[in-house]
Chain A
Amino acid sequence: MKRRILVGGALAVTAGLALAGCSDDSPDKAAKADKAAGKPELKVAGAFMPEPVMDTMASGFFTVTNKGGADKLTSVTSGIAKKVTLHSTKGNAMKEQKSFDVPANGELDFARGANHLMFEDLKQKPKQGDKVAVTLHFEKSDPIDVEIPVKAATYNPKPGKHTSH
C-alpha cells in the first residue's frame, strides 16, 4: 500500500513538471502560475474530417492549444449533423464523453484512433474538398467557429499519435 501512495505522489509532482516543461517562452515561474489560474487562451488548429463512408456517420479531429488557464470543451454543434458527440477510444471501445479538459498551458488533441468527434445523422455526405462548419463550445471561453476541411477517407496526419493505450 505504502508503495502505491508514494508513486502516486511522485506522479502528481511530475505532472506539474510536465506542464512547465511544455510551455516555452517566459522563464518567470510566478507569472506563469498566474496565467495558469487565469483566463484560457484557446486556439484551434489542424482540423479535418475524413470523408465518411456513408451519410450516417462521420468523424472529426483537431487540436486545441491553450496558452492560459484550464478550460473544458463541453459540446460541439454543426448544421451538417443532427448530433455531434465527443468520444474517446479506450481499449478499442468508443466511449462517449461529456466533456474534454483543455489543460492550462497545454493542449487537447483529437487524432485518429484516439479522441474524436462523432457526427450522426448527416444532412448530406461530405465529400473530399468540402468544408464543414462547426462550433466548439467551452466552459469558460467563448464559442469558437471552425471550418473543418474534408480530407480523403485514409487521411491520417499523425499515425501513432494515440498514446492512450
Chain B
Amino acid sequence: MRKKKLLAAAMLAAATLTLSACGGGDDGKKPVADVSVESNGDKAATILDKPFEKPDLVLTDTHGKKYDLRERTKGKPTLVYFGYTNCPDVCPLTMSNIAVAKKALPKAEQDKLQVVFVTTDPERDTPKALGKWLKAQDTDFIGLTGDFDTIQGSARTLGISIEPSKKEKGKVVSMHGTQVIAFSPKTDAGYVLYGEDTTVDDYTKDLPKIVKGATP
C-alpha cells in the first residue's frame, strides 16, 4: 500500500513540474515550487515581522576610508546588498534597478537614501575596483570592502549566507546575496526584504515609502 501512495505522490509532484515547465512564456508568475516560500502574492517586498538589527559593521569605503555603517546611516533610509563586481548578471541588475528607481525620487529624498553595496569578494574588490564599478551605476552608491570574516558575520545576522570566493578549475567562484534589505530611517531596523526577482518597477513603486520608513 505504502508503495502505491508514494508513487502517486511522486506523480502528483511531477504533474506540477510539468505544468511549470510548459508555462514557459507567462511572465511574472511564480513557479509552483516557490509559492510556499513567497507567500505575499504579487508584492516584491517581504515585510519582516521581526526586523533585523542593523549590523555593527566597520569596513573600508571606496575612498579607502573607514566606514561605520551604524554611525553613517543612522536615521537615514538605507538599502544594503551583498554582491561582487565580477558578477555579470544578478549583482549589476540589482544595483541598476535601485539606481534607476532612485532617480525617480525627488532630489531631497535621493540625497537621504543610502545605498550600501558590501562586497562578498574582498580579495578582488579593492576599494578602487569597487569604486569604479559602483560609480558607473550611481555616483552616490557606497561600496564597502575589508575582512571577509567580518563581512560574512554581518551578512549572517541578516540571514544571508555567503562563502569565501574559491578557485575551481582555475576560475574564481564568488557568491552574492539574494536579498536587498531596507533599513528604516525611523527605527534603523531592517524591516523589508527584496528578492532578486524584484524589478525596477517594484523598486520605483516602493522607494518613496522606504525613504519615509513606511510599509511598502
| A residues at B contact (CB < 8 Å) | 3, 6-7, 10-11, 13-15, 17-18, 21-22, 50, 52-54, 56-59, 63, 87, 89, 91-96, 107, 109, 112-113, 116, 118-119, 152-154, 156-161, 163
Contact = CB atoms under 8 A, between A and B. Distances in A.
A53 B137 contact: yes
A158 B31 CA distance: 11
A133 to B, nearest CB: 18
Interface in B1-32: 3, 6-7, 10-11, 13-15, 17-18, 20-22, 24, 27-31
B56 interface: no
A156 B93 contact: yes
Given A11-B14, A52-B92, A153-B93, A159 B86 contact: no
Contact of B33 (A53, A156, A163): A163
Contacts of B30: 160
Interface in B21-62: 21-22, 24, 27-31, 33-34
A148 to B, nearest CB: 14
A60 B136 CA distance: 19
Interface in B132-178: 132-133, 136-137, 162-163, 168-169, 171, 173-178
A95 B93 contact: no
Interface residues of B, number: 53
Contact of A156 (B14, B87, B178, B199): B199
Given A6-B3, A113-B197, A89 B90 contact: yes
Contacts of B174: 93-94
Contact of B10 (A14, A18, A58): A14
B106 interface: no
Contacts of B177: 92
27 contacts: A3-B6, A10-B6, A10-B10, A10-B14, A11-B14, A22-B21, A50-B96, A54-B136, A57-B87, A57-B88, A91-B175, A92-B175, A92-B176, A92-B178, A93-B175, A94-B89, A96-B171, A112-B89, A113-B93, A116-B88, A116-B89, A153-B92, A154-B200, A156-B93, A159-B198, A160-B28, A163-B34
